[in-house]
Structure 1
Amino acid sequence: MGSSTKWATTISTISSSFYFLLIILQIPLFRVPCRTGICRAPLEVTAAHLIATELFPSVAVKAMLYPGAIAHAFFNHNAIPTYHNFQKSFSFASFNSAPLTFDDLQRLEVIAGSYLSVAGAFVCLIKPGRMSFFGTLLIIWGLAREMILRKSTNIYSGKAVYIHPAMSFALVFAFLSIRKDVRRIFRSSKSRPVMKAKLV
């Protein structure tokens, strides 16, 4: 019992950390049209909506986006921007302050899921919960619904809705970060051999 609890805690902690890195480093998980053009990560969708609706100071949003800018520069073999240069060069010209648009209403699941994913990524570092898992499911549901209903633009335009394979990793990490569910998996796997032994 003690070992299963320890393993569940370890798996939950590691999964929460990996999920946080996926979100904060803005690893591309999908492709969807948004206020900035094309968004590829939950943090980009959240940042676009926060700035456009003026719900959050732009300085704080830039601070959240900066780790992703470093990661993108590193993977693309570009010079890593300093925080000062990043604030100057990062343009929010396309973030026009406005309430929810028709496109936003069409993708409410993606926006709500992105908010939950970003918030869940930070909360999971302190206390793992189901927020990130529900957020990831909402994003997948919203994107899949739009793909099925063919509401996206032509795929050859580069603006079509698309779910990257990395989304499956985000879903697994989000699920494994829920400590209670991981414990249940361990308990059920231990109870099966006992049930088989009784039947024999």
Structure 2
Amino acid sequence: MASSKQLANLISTIAFSTYFIFIIFQVPLFSVPCRMGICKTPLELTSSLLIGSDVFPHFIVKTLLYPGAFAKAIFTQKTIPSYRNLLNLYDFNSRTISAASELQRLEVLAGSYLCVGGAILGLMKPGRITLFGILLVIWGLIRILVLGKSGFSHANGVRIYPTIFIALVSAFFSIRKDVRKIIHTFNLKHVGKAKHF
């Protein structure tokens, strides 16, 4: 039987791989208005802001977007997009978003950056940044929806998809130390019950 450490490593590796696939291959987690119309993934939202602010060279953004565009083309049985025309496919400048509108979604924007950063940095060592990112996105989306229903904010086009909760669970279980603590606690309880019999 595998040791607690090996089991924790296996669980966290599978969880991080799931999280990485969700983020990099752009599985829809939510929908919010953005420069391309509606962004459905943290990577689309992050790329939309990076393109709009001209902080990063376009080739970095295109490199981040290409795996998801490739996967979508295969999944929908469409022509595989060319790397050169990738930004035209996403059409990031189709809609202008006011600064006030972006500030209303500040948690979602910051959380999206952390989600993408956590997925990339996690290739070296998965950490809590993935969990903080997805929690911040969920908190921001819920806040927008609650304020929208209360009449304080405009929540048109904002949705939460069930896949975001799979990403949340994956982000939590990708933290190796926490998984080890859970397994260790479970083993202690199991041993304690065995001693009573």
Q: TM-score, normalised by structure 2?
A: 0.89
Q: Answer whether contact 1:113 1:135 (CA < 8 A) is retained.
A: yes
Q: 1:25 to 1:41 in 2, by over 3 A?
A: same
Deviations 1:64-118 (A, max 9, x none): 111111111112121112323435655443377x9x8111111110010000000
Identity %: 51
**What RMSD in Å do the two structures reach over aligned CA positions?**
2.2
SS at match of 2:26: coil
Find out whether 1:172 has 2:154 as its counterpart: no
**1:170 deviation in Å?**
0.3
Residue correspondences, number: 193
CA distance in structure 2 between the aligned counterparts of 1:189 and 1:114, rounded to whole angstroms = 33
Deviations 1:39-67 (A, max 9, x none): 10000110011111121111210111111
SS at match of 2:127: coil
Structure 1 unmatched ranges of 5 or more:
none
Find out whether 1:12 has 2:9 as its counterpart: no
Where do residues 1-200 of structure 1 align in structure 2 (5 Å cutoff)? 3-86=3-86, 89-94=89-94, 101-150=99-148, 151-154=153-156, 159=157, 161-198=158-195
**One-letter identity of the residue aligned with 1:83:** Y
CA distance in structure 1 between the aligned counterparts of 2:129 and 2:89, rounded to whole angstroms = 33
Q: Answer whether contact 1:15 1:174 (CA < 8 A) is retained.
A: yes
Q: Answer whether contact 1:15 1:177 (CA < 8 A) is retained.
A: yes
SS at match of 1:55: coil
Structure 2 unmatched ranges of 5 or more:
none
Q: TM-score, normalised by structure 1?
A: 0.88
**1:194 deviation in Å?**
2.6
